[in-house]
A and B are shown apart, each in its own frame.
Chain A
Amino acid sequence: MLKQRIITALILAPLALAGFFMLYGVKFALFITAVVMIAAWEWARLAGCVAQWQRVLYAALIGGAIYELWWHPQWAQQVLLWSAAWWALAVFLVAFFPRMGRVWQGRPQGLLIGFFVLLPAWQGLQILKGWPQGNALILAVMILVWGADVGAYFAGKAFGKRKLAPAVSPGKSWEGLFGGLALTLLIAAGVGFYREVDSESLLLMLCGTAVVVLFSVVGDLNESMFKRHTGIKDSSNLLPGHGGVMDRIDSLTAAIPVFTLLLWVSEWGPL
């Protein structure tokens, strides 16, 4: 299993890195569209669509929506604001699970939620890429999410005691969450010192980092919630040893739009 994990990672990492950081313009847009459409195909499964044609149709629908977004860049701001509203609401869905789960987790609801999960992630990446130092921004949000994962893993392993969301994801603990926050805040502080930003910007950076990391956890829990509801462990087996694409990008689906909005608010780039 571990060997398979490593082999997949060795093949996949360069591919993903090349896709995210060496492509520009239409090619970049097509690359992230492909990733999001695969995730959509998996999402349809999580939402309860078993038949292959339904899943393909759903991916095509998401693809069509992305096509529209591509031709209407003026919608970007609305898309991202809707996404922030959705993720704020998702906090409650996760907190409530599974008490009210039965009531809202029908197939149509799940498929609708997929639009809020997937499209803003595409839109956010597209926006980030076009801003000054686009690649660095994309790398930054990825480091935040992975840093939070790594920090959570070790802190959870060492101190994990109180469960974060036992009904959704039994492996997560509050200690892990704090560990993830601690590591990412440390990274952000490091970057801040290295770039010699003034103390007010540094404080804002740290606050922003905490917000992005907290939302990335919500993104993760949101996917877990759907998995738990449908009763499947991995979103697919496209990445042997790692599960599906959705499993890799679940945190990013929440982190990217929030990160983009925060940068927009701090006037890094236009929307």
Chain B
Amino acid sequence: MSSLYMLVGTLIALGVLVTFHEFGHFWVARRCGVKVLRFSVGFGAPLLRWHDKRGTEFVIAVLPLGGYVKMLDSREGDVAEQELAQSFNHKPVGQRMAIVAAGPVANFLLALLFFWIVAMLGSEQMRPVIGAITPDSLAEQAGLHVGDEIVAIDGVKTPSWDAVTLQLVARLGESGALRLRVLPQDSSLEQERVLQLADWQRGVDSPSPLRSLGLQPWVPELPPILDRLEPEAPGVLAGLQAGDRILSLDGIQVDRWEALVELIRQRPGQSVSVEYSRAGQTAEVSVVLAVREEGEQRFGYLGAGVQMPVIAPSMLRQVSFGPLEAIPEAAAQTWRMSVLTLDSLRKMLMGELSAKNLSGPITIAKVAGASAESGVEDFLKFLAYLSISLGVLNLLPVPVLDGGHLVFHLVEWIRGKPLSERMQMIGLQIGMGLVFSVMLLALYNDLARW
């Protein structure tokens, strides 16, 4: 089932985003009176094709990772005398820039639309209340306490843990003051706490912002009752079942799920004795824990999830907006995500963030599947993120990409005449090399993660 979601999710995601991007180019090109020869979603051999009255061929092609709009251009082929005025390269430079920019702009507009819908749908989210603080951590030094609700970070409101994480991710690899506004438990007075960052998580492969600050989200009391046991994992093999309540591990009493997890993690590969109760009966089994490697460290692993309890309504908050309120919210979200994307790219280039964070089509497919499976809202958010990445990436000043063409046109606009063919060619070669290298790296990361 999940692979079906993955397939359909990816096809919809890429289909919608690519079509919209190309449609941006197409629409403005038509406005400017450029003749569009072909509008293709996908590359390679055509699967479906039809023509419209103005002579544009619409194509859906086999390879779904992208698409293109082919415009009449006298540099690329012979153009009849009477059609010269309709060719791309005979348009004023301002119009050409508008046509090129329209693709990425369409992606931002699409993201805006999706965020707008999501903001109106609203969602029930857990208040970002601190559940635990690691001793001697940055969080403790800054005077944060268990029970504090994080209201804002760096002046931006954080109504949910998602928002908190988003704000924190933006500061990865940086130094300086991180300002948190918190609402202490049983108080109605907000207070400010300052955390001093120094090269925070710089160069770490998979940074975990919350954990590294020493913060853990508040989660409802979790009794150690098993659920969702993985097939062929140590738990199932030892005969444990969903619904079993764990009483002790190696003689150590456990009454919370987190405590059980901690005990298990400390015992990679060890044989442990587990006492549990099932339907009122107490029993004991011995389990050989599996080994999980996380970087250099090794952790024990049981292969079971926890049964989710019902959360008290006071810890939840309904976050939703009306059609008008949702517009600034969506705009802010689009802006934040764009900045974040650009910032992550800059950090990867500067080596502040490991290049292993770069993902390619396979990871996108996996996330597409997971988000499609978890509901319309998550899928819309994912589409919006992806659309923004597409827009931002395409605006990078790399020849071959839209941004590179914009730079060429900008130079032409300033100089009053275009760059020489040779210069453009060299630029294209370098750009193509860059794009290929990045794609290769992204694909490699995908495969290695698999």
Contact = CB atoms under 8 A, between A and B. Distances in A.
Interface of A: 78, 81-82, 84-86, 88-89, 91-92, 95-96, 100, 102-104, 106, 109
Contacts of B436: 89, 104
B44 interface: yes
Given A85-B444, A88-B443, A95 B43 contact: yes
Q: Which 8 A-B pairs have the closest CB atoms?
A: A85-B443, A95-B44, A85-B444, A103-B432, A104-B432, A81-B447, A103-B428, A95-B43
B429 A89 contact: no
B429 A103 contact: yes
Interface residues of B, number: 21
Contacts of B62: 95
Contact of A106 (B429, B441, B447): B429
B447 A84 contact: yes
B323 interface: no
A89 B443 contact: yes
Interface of B: 43-45, 62-63, 65, 400, 425, 428-429, 432-433, 436, 439-441, 443-444, 446-448
A67 B197 CA distance: 46
Contacts of B439: 89
Given A84-B447, A85-B447, A91-B63, A104 B440 contact: no
Contact of B432 (A86, A88, A91, A100): A100
Contact of B63 (A78, A86, A95): A95
A100 B63 CA distance: 16
A227 B30 CA distance: 39
A100 B448 CA distance: 29
A106 B444 CA distance: 23
A102 B421 CA distance: 13
Contacts of A78: 448
B447 A104 contact: no
A12 B44 CA distance: 38
A81 B44 contact: no
A81 B440 CA distance: 10
Contacts of B43: 92, 95-96
A103 B400 contact: yes
A104 B429 contact: yes
A84 B448 CA distance: 10
Contacts of B63: 91-92, 95
A201 B231 CA distance: 19
Contacts of A104: 429, 432-433, 436
Given A95-B43, A95-B63, A85 B432 contact: no
Nearest to A88: B443
A85 B358 CA distance: 14
